[in-house]
Structures are given as C-alpha cells and as structure tokens.
C-alpha cells in the first residue's frame, strides 16, 4: 500500500511536469509533449477506477467479518472498540480546535483516527505465536467492531450539512441498514443460489459483484455513500457458506487491479495543488506531528482503558492498546471520501491527506517493534 502511494506521488510529479501544457526545450528543439487535461472529460477515468477500488476494498472488508467472531470476542472486544473510537475521536477533535480549524474539520480529523487496521498486528502476533491468546482475539474483535462503528460514523458525517439535519440523517442511516440488512438476510441466500443453477463459469462471482454494485448504488442514492453499501453487501455475502468460493477471486480482482489504483490516486492527488512553499511545508510538518502523536496516544489510552475496564491486566491492556495503533485503508478512504464531498476546504484537505499518509507509514513501521517489546519475556 505504501509503495502504491509512493508510486502515485512519483506518477503525479511526472504528469505535472510533462503534461501540464508547458513548452519544454532541449537546446532549440521543442519537445513534443502532449497535454493531458482531464477537465475536458465528463468523468475522470483515473478517478473513476479509483472509486471502484474503494468499493472493492470495503466489499472485501465486509466479506472477512463474521458474526460468530464478534460473539466470541465478547465484552472485552466491545469495551476495547468503544474506547478505541471515543478517545481518538475526542483527541482528534480537540487537536483540530487547538490548531484553529472549524468544528466540522476537527470532527473529520477525529473520525480519521478512529479506525484500526490490524493486518500488521495480526502478522506480528502470528510470528510471536500469541494470536490465539485472549489478547490476540480481543485485538482482532475490537478492530472489527471499531471498523463497523467508524463506517457508521462516516455515513453520519457525510450526510450532515447543518446541525438541524442530524436527526434526519441518523434516521436515514438506520433505515438503510435495517431495510437492506433485513432484505439481505432474507433474500441473499436465494439470490446466491442462482450461482448453483446457472451453469456458467464464475456465475457465483458475477452475482456477488452485481450485489456489490446494486447495494453501492442504493446507498449512494440514499445520500449515504456507495462504500457503505459495498461494506453491507460484503458483510451479507460473507455469512453465506459459498463466499469461500469467491473470496480469492474477489481479492485477485480487487488487489490485482482496482485497489492499487485507489492508493496510486491518493498519492497522485497530492499534486492537484502545487502552490507549496517553505512556510506551507513547515506548517504541514507541525500539523502532521501533532496528528500522529494524538493518533498513537488515543489508541493506547482508549483501547487500553477499555481492556482494563473489561477485567484484563495492566500488561494485557497495554498490549491491546499497542496492537490497535495501526491505521491504513479506512483512514485514507475517509480522507478521500470527505474530499470528494467537499466537506472541508481544499487546502486543509491536503494537509490532512499528507498527515494521514505519514500516519499510516509511521504506525505500520513502529507497531511490530512496540508489540514485541510489550510481549518481551512473556512465557
């Protein structure tokens, strides 16, 4: 993921340099540089493919979540998830206010800091042979729950245009989840049965992709977001025993093409506004340092406190707090989605995007070392 973002940054620099419409010369010879101007397109094809990548990413997230796993983690995972959402949300909001940002922008910063990406954590716990312990399962369950809460909060924030809309938006979100979850649980198995009756190669895969697009369409039309529909579709299909037949195909299609395009687009989008100077870069550095410190502290304190309240020891609570530090896909998705909805000013969006990219890189690097340190000398 980090490599794809870096590739996007490099690609963006090349495009800005070569396809900006400027004239370039070698001695007296003018280079035949084409002009690439997506503004003349009704739809930016690069951005369109990136949007499809977001849908695949959330669809895969839904496929990998099981209701049985949520039940097994129990009270500890719930406490950890609640603490891991509320504390970073408050810390992020207060940091935004401290930096002189508006309440809405500060809320977006808090929202970015809520979601956990435990891919790095799970791999480290596996290497240490502690994934099956109470700490390991609690981290995994807490991450699942706080991702779900983060997605719901994202849907809520996307729909708010004024405070008077809050109740209506909350009702609309509840209706969407109730109706489509209810219909899905009642109908999805019958729809997926068509994959057995249609004797065509990858028929079950085609039907699942159709469900993904249909749910994304109706979520978008409901005023929430297409990615919410994609997540719900993945959640429903993931409960069907046949989902194991398509998981590898979905991941191959998503991670092999569409999802990397999204992360390349994230890096590419840094070049949309090239009016940067030393003062601007310095302000980004200060901004990023504050956000990263707050993000790390928020998870350690919030998740650790939640684990302690559930009855776990101080050591176990620290291990869980550290394991919940990483942020990756959902944090970037939130930034990208908020930017496309024009909820916050463009200049601030760039600062938040750069800070979020740095956050994903730093938390990815430090988390394995911190986990190993907290498990040191553990028998």
CATH number at residue 164: 1.20.1530.20
Q: Look at residue 370 and tell me whether its pLDDT is greater than 80.
A: yes
Give the residue, 253 or 345, on which the prediction is more confident. Answer: 253
The tokens 């070698």 sit on which residue?
26
Half-sphere exposure of residue 10: CA atoms within 13 angstroms, side-chain side: 6
**190 belongs to a structural domain:** yes
**365 phi and psi angles, rounded to 5 deg:** -75, -45
Give the residue, 276 or 316, on which the prediction is more confident. Answer: 316
State what percent of residues in the chain have pLDDT above 90.
18
**143 belongs to a structural domain:** yes
**298 belongs to a structural domain:** yes
Please state the rounded mean pLDDT for residues 228-248: 81
Average predicted confidence (pLDDT) for the chain? 79
Q: Look at residue 304 and tell me whether its pLDDT is greater than 90.
A: yes
Whether the Cβ atoms of residue 34 and residue 103 lie closer than 8 Å to each other: no
Whether the Cβ atoms of residue 134 and residue 316 lie closer than 8 Å to each other: yes
Chain segment 188-214, per-residue pLDDT in tens? 777 777 766 777 778 888 888 998 999
Question: Among candidates 150, 123, 130, which has minimal Cα distance to 329?
Answer: 150
126 vs 120: CA distance, rounded Å: 10
320 vs 307: CA distance, rounded Å: 7
Query: How confident is the model at residue 95, as a pLDDT?
Result: 94
* Number of other residues whose CB lies within 10 A of the CB of residue 104: 14
107 vs 278: CA distance, rounded Å: 28
Query: How confident is the model at residue 73, as a pLDDT?
Result: 66
248 contact partners, CB below 8 Å, separation of at least 6:
none
State what percent of residues in the chain have pLDDT above 70.
79
Per-residue pLDDT band at 18 (split at 50, 70, 90) = low
Q: Look at residue 292 and tell me whether its pLDDT is greater than 90.
A: yes
Percent helix, strand and coil across the chain, each rounded to 5? 80, 0, 20
**179 belongs to a structural domain:** yes
Give the residue, 145 or 249, on which the prediction is more confident. Answer: 249
Measured CA to CA in angstroms, residue 91 lies from 108, 112, 143, 269, 317 at distances of 12, 11, 19, 27, 19
- Determine if residue 240 is left, alpha or beta; phi over 0 gives left, psi from -120 to 50 gives alpha, anything else beta: beta
Burial of 89 (0-12, 13-18, 19+ CB in 10 A): buried
Quote the pTM value.
0.68
Question: Among candidates 291, 368, 355, 294, which has minimal Cα distance to 326?
Answer: 368
**34 belongs to a structural domain:** no
Give the residue, 113 or 346, on which the prediction is more confident. Answer: 113
- Domain tally, the chain: 1
Query: How confident is the model at residue 280, as a pLDDT?
Result: 60
Per-residue pLDDT band at 160 (split at 50, 70, 90) = low
Question: Among candidates 56, 57, 329, which has minimal Cα distance to 209?
Answer: 56
Query: How confident is the model at residue 19, as a pLDDT?
Result: 56
Give the residue, 177 or 105, on which the prediction is more confident. Answer: 105
274 vs 346: CA distance, rounded Å: 12
Give the residue, 279 or 143, on which the prediction is more confident. Answer: 143
| Residues spanned by the domain of 113 | 46-374
Per-residue pLDDT band at 276 (split at 50, 70, 90) = very low
Q: Look at residue 299 and tell me whether its pLDDT is greater than 80.
A: yes
Query: How confident is the model at residue 178, as a pLDDT?
Result: 81
Chain segment 74-129, per-residue pLDDT in tens? 788 899 999 999 999 999 999 999 998 988 899 999 999 998 877 778 778 878 88
Query: How confident is the model at residue 343, as a pLDDT?
Result: 77
Whether the Cβ atoms of residue 82 and residue 306 lie closer than 8 Å to each other: yes
Give the residue, 90 or 145, on which the prediction is more confident. Answer: 90
Paired tokens of 90:
């408050």
**109 phi and psi angles, rounded to 5 deg:** -60, -45
Query: How confident is the model at residue 31, as a pLDDT?
Result: 52
Chain segment 313-335, per-residue pLDDT in tens? 999 999 999 999 988 777 887 88
**4 belongs to a structural domain:** no
**26 belongs to a structural domain:** no
**225 belongs to a structural domain:** yes
Q: Look at residue 57 and tell me whether its pLDDT is greater than 60.
A: yes
């Amino acid at each position: 993921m980090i490599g794809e973002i870096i590739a996007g940054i490099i690609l963006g620099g090349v495009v800005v340099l070569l396809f900006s419409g400027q004239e370039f010369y070698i001695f007296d010879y003018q280079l035949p540089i084409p002009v690439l101007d997506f503004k003349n397109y009704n739809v930016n094809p690069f951005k369109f493919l990136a949007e499809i990548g977001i849908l695949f990413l959330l669809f895969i997230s839904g496929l990998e979540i099981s209701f049985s796993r949520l039940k097994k983690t129990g009270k500890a995972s719930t406490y950890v998830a609640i603490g891991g959402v509320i504390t970073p949300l408050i810390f992020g909001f207060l940091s935004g206010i401290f930096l002189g940002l508006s309440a809405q922008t500060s809320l977006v910063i808090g929202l970015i800091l809520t979601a956990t990406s435990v891919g790095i954590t799970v791999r480290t716990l596996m290497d240490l042979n502690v994934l099956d312990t109470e700490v390991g399962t609690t981290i995994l369950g807490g991450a699942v729950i706080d991702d779900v809460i983060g997605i719901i909060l994202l849907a809520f924030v996307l729909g708010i245009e004024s405070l008077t809309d809050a109740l209506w938006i909350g009702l609309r979100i509840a209706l969407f989840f109730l109706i489509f979850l209810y219909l899905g649980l009642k109908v999805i198995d019958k729809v997926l049965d068509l994959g057995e009756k249609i004797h065509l190669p990858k028929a079950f895969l085609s039907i699942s992709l159709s469900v993904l697009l249909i749910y994304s369409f109706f979520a978008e039309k409901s005023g929430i977001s297409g990615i919410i529909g994609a997540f719900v579709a993945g959640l429903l299909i993931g409960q069907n025993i046949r989902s194991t037949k398509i998981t590898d195909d979905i991941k191959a299609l998503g991670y092999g093409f569409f999802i990397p395009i999204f992360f390349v687009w994230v890096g590419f989008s840094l070049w949309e506004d090239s009016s940067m100077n030393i003062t601007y870069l310095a302000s980004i550095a200060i901004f990023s340092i504050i956000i990263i410190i707050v993000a790390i502290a928020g998870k350690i304190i919030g998740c650790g406190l939640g684990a302690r309240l559930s009855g776990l020891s101080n050591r176990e609570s620290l291990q869980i707090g550290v394991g919940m530090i990483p942020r990756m896909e959902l944090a970037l998705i939130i930034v990208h989605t908020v930017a496309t909805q024009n909820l916050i000013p463009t200049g601030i969006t760039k600062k938040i995007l750069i800070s979020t990219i740095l956050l994903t890189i730093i938390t990815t690097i430090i988390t394995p070392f911190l986990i190993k340190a907290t498990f040191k000398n553990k028998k």
